[in-house]
């Protein structure tokens, strides 16, 4: 199970992509396949979560790494390079930023 917690001290990559609706599945399938084939076995990679907007115009990737060194290793790996190169051909635009978890909230259990 994927954990999002400030105690984890993970480095988080949030990538937001704008796509033509007919390209949404193509992009998300690329992200998933690159992760499965290459990135999941990279040292320091923790997890990735993929989101599709309901209108088909956006894809979001939330990925966690142990530290900056692990992140750099992933983006310089074969899968990371493929994801960036091929993803930029599919997406109309993209925005990426690195962050850490500040806090989390869950529903109150009764």
pLDDT, tens digit (0-9, with 9 covering 90-100), for 14-66:
999 999 999 999 999 999 999 999 999 999 999 999 999 999 999 999 999 99
Residues 6+ apart with CB under 8 A from 60: 14, 15, 16, 17, 50, 51, 53
13-99 CATH? 3.30.70.100
Whole-model pTM?
A: 0.89
Element holding 71 (H helix, E strand):
helix 68-75
pLDDT above 90 covers what percent of the chain? 81
Alpha-carbon span 12 to 18, nearest angstrom:
20
How many degrees, rounded to 5, is the angle at CA 109 between CA 106 and CA 110? Answer: 155
What's the rounded mean pLDDT across residues 90-96? Answer: 97
Nearest Cα neighbor of 72 from 36, 42, 33, 40 is 42
Band of pLDDT at residue 5, cut at 50, 70 and 90: confident
Q: Helices 24-37 and 78-90, interaxial angle, to 10°?
A: 180
What's the rounded mean pLDDT across residues 78-99? Answer: 95
- Sequence ranges of the domains in the chain: 13-99
Band of pLDDT at residue 110, cut at 50, 70 and 90: low
Residues 6+ apart with CB under 8 A from 108: none
94 vs 5: which has the higher pLDDT: 94
**What single-letter DSSP state applies at residue 28?**
H
């Amino acid at each position: 199970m994927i954990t999002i917690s400030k105690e984890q001290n993970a480095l988080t990559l949030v990538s937001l992509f704008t796509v033509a609706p007919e390209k949404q599945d193509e992009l998300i399938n690329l992200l998933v396949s690159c992760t499965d084939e290459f990135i999941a076995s990279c040292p320091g990679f923790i997890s990735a979560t993929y989101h599709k907007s309901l209108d088909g115009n956006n894809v979001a990737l939330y990925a966690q790494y142990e530290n900056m060194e692990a992140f750099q290793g992933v983006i310089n790996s074969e899968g990371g390079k493929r994801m960036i190169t091929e993803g930029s051909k599919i997406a109309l635009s993209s925005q990426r930023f690195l962050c850490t978890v500040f806090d989390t909230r869950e529903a109150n259990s009764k």
